[in-house]
Structure 1
C-alpha cells in the first residue's frame, strides 16, 4: 500500500487560508496532483466514482485548489477544477434538494466537467418531505405534493436528464424524517413510493444506466417492504451515513437483499454529533482543511463494502461531506488508500 499520497507525509498540511491573500482569477485552478495520487487513482475499480457534496470551500486550498479563493468564486467556478482531481469522478448536487433546478442550470454545470464525470442529484424536498415546513424547519402541515409522480418527473427527472445528458449518474429521492402518524402506518407510504419509482423508471427508458436510489432518515423504514418496493422498480437503497440512521454495518443486511445492485452511499455526518449535529460539526471542522473527527471504523466498513460491490463489476457512487470527518477530500484519499490495500494485500 502506498503510505505517502502527497510526496511528503500521510496527509498534506495546507497553509491556512487566512495566511495567504485570496486569489483573483478569471477561473479557479486545480492543484497539480502528485505522482503517488495519480497512481492511487489508477488502482481504484473503474466502476467506482467518489466525490464530495458541494464544492465552495476555501479551506481546500492545496488539496483541490491551487490557492485561496473565496466561497463565492468557488461556488460559481470551482467545479471544473474539482473535476480534475484524480479521485473525484462524481459530485452530489445538494442545492437541487432545496429548490428545483431548470434544464439550463443543469446544462451549465454539465458543461464544466469532462465527459467521464457523473452527477448524483437530489430530488427537491417539495416532493420528498411529507410536511410543509417553516423557515426554521418545523413541520406545519401535511404536504399535498409528497411523492407526487407527475411533479417529480416535471421538476426533477426531466430537467436533470435533459440538462445533464449522459453525465447524469444517480437520481436520489431522500425522504425527509416522517411524522409519527405515517411512521406508525408505513403501509401508507409504500404504495405512493412504488408509484413514484415506477413513473421515474418509465421516464428513464432511454437512459437505462441512470441509477435510482432512495435514502431514508427514519430507521423504522428499514424493513422488508421497503426492499420489495425497490426491487420491483429496479431501484436501490442509498446508504445514508448520518446521525439519524443506524451505523453502516446495520444497514448492510438490507442492501444485501437487493443484490446484485449498484452502491449509492452518502456519508453526510459523523455519528458522534448525533442526529441534529450539523451546526456542531461545522463549528468543529471549519475551515474543513484537515481530519478533526476521524471515523476509522466507518471508513473500514465502507471500504470493504465498496471492494465487494465494485469488485463484482457493479457501479459504486460514494459522496462524502466535510461533516463526516472534517475534510471531505482527505476522507476520500484515506478511503482510496484502504481500497488500494484491499486490492493489493501482499503489499502491506
Structure 2
C-alpha cells in the first residue's frame, strides 16, 4: 500500500560523519561508533532525523560523553548534539510556551552546521483556543487563537530571521479543542485557513506544517485547506490521534509533498499518559518499549518520500519509546532495511 503511495526513485546518500566536538568545547560529544557512522552514510540525503529537544543528561554515552547538567545542555549542548552522525535535526519545543525572539533563534542556529535543520513549534499564544494555568487546565477563551498578525509577528518572522535556511519545519500544533469548538469544526478550519493564507511561503525545502490533537479535525476540509495554502500536514504520532496507518490517507491526498513527522508519545499510555511516560522512562537512558509496527510503517513512508527526492523531517520524543536517540538509531536501521529490501537484486 505504501509503495503505491510513494513511488520509487534514486536517492542520494548522506554526507560523511562529522568529527566529535573540539577538545575546548564545554559539552563534549560522545564519539560515534564506526557502525553508526556507516549507517548514517547509507541513509537518504533527503532524510533528517532528530529528537524533539536535547537537554537530557541521561543521554550520556549516546550523545554526550558524560551526564552534563540539563541547564548547560540547554544553553550549549546543540554543538555536541549536532556532531552525532544520525542527528541532523532537532525540535525547539520551548517556543510553544513563550514566543522566542530572532536573536534566540540565531543563537541556536550558530551552534550547528549548515546542513542541520530545526523543527519549531508555534507558541500556544496562537495555537491554543484556551488560556491555561500552570497545570494546563483551560479557562477563558484565547482571543489570539489563530490570529494571522500574531502568528507572523511572534513566530514566523522571528524564526525566519534567526534560523534562516536552517528551518526544517515551522509547526502549528493546535492544542485539543473543547467539545463546544469541535461542534463548530467548520469555523475553526475557516480561521485556520485564514491564518495560513496570510503567512509567507518559505523558501527552498522548508515547510510550514499543521499538527492536530483532535481526530475530528482529520477530514477532507482539512486536506482542502492545506492544499490551498501549500501547508504540510505534520504526521503526529501521539495517542490522542489515530495510529499512523489511519493517517496515511491524508498524505495520499496531499502527495507529492515533503514529510514532516513528530513521534511524540507511545500509544500504551493513552491520550493523557504523558506524566506516566515520564515516570516509566526516568532519565531516558535506553529504549524500553519498542513500537515495532509504528517504526516499520514510518520507515516505509520515509523511504517512499525520500525516493521521490522530497525532504523528510522526522523528530522523536523520549516518550515515544523511552529514549529518543535510541529511537532515532532504531528507525535509521529500519529505513536502511527497507531501502535494502527494495533494491533490485543482482
Instruction: Report the TM-score when normalising by structure 1.
Output: 0.90
Q: Deviations over 1:287-343 (max 9, x none)?
A: 111111111111111111111111111111100000000011111111111111111
Note the 1:1-348 alignment, pairs <5 A. Answer: 27-202=26-201, 204=202, 207-345=203-341
Question: After TM superposition, where is structure 1 displaced by more than 3 Å over at least 4 residues in a row?
Answer: none
Q: Deviations over 1:218-274 (max 9, x none)?
A: 000000000000000111111111111111000111111000011111001001001
Q: Structure 1 residues 241 and 297, CA, compared in 2 at 3 Å: closer, same or farther?
A: same
CA distance in 2, matches of 1:316, 1:261: 9
Matching residue of 1:17: none
CA distance in 2, matches of 1:312, 1:43: 17
Whether the 8 Å contact between 1:238 and 1:264 is mirrored in structure 2 is yes
Matching residue of 1:3: none
SS in 1 for 2:63: coil
SS in 1 for 2:328: helix
Which structure has the higher relative contact order (CA within 8 Å, separation 6+)?
2
CA distance in 2, matches of 1:54, 1:332: 13
Q: Deviations over 1:130-161 (max 9, x none)?
A: 11112221111111100000000000011000
Whether the 8 Å contact between 1:132 and 1:141 is mirrored in structure 2 is yes
Whether the 8 Å contact between 2:205 and 2:311 is mirrored in structure 1 is no
Whether the 8 Å contact between 1:201 and 1:233 is mirrored in structure 2 is no
SS in 2 for 1:260: coil
Matching residue of 1:9: none
CA distance in 2, matches of 1:50, 1:39: 15
How far is 1:26 from its partner?
5.7
Whether the 8 Å contact between 1:56 and 1:75 is mirrored in structure 2 is yes
CA distance in 2, matches of 1:148, 1:116: 32
How far is 1:179 from its partner?
1.1
CA distance in 1, matches of 2:281, 2:196: 37
Whether the 8 Å contact between 2:82 and 2:88 is mirrored in structure 1 is yes
SS in 1 for 2:199: helix
How far is 1:209 from its partner?
3.1
**Structure 2, unaligned runs of 5 or more:** 1-23
How far is 1:97 from its partner?
0.4
SS in 2 for 1:88: coil
CA distance in 1, matches of 2:171, 2:25: 33
Equivalenced residue count is 321
SS in 2 for 1:344: helix
CA distance in 1, matches of 2:317, 2:305: 22
SS in 1 for 2:289: coil
CA distance in 2, matches of 1:45, 1:262: 14
How far is 1:346 from its partner?
8.2
Backbone CA RMSD of aligned residues: 1.5
Instruction: Report the TM-score when normalising by structure 2.
Output: 0.90
CA distance in 2, matches of 1:150, 1:160: 15
CA distance in 2, matches of 1:226, 1:93: 25
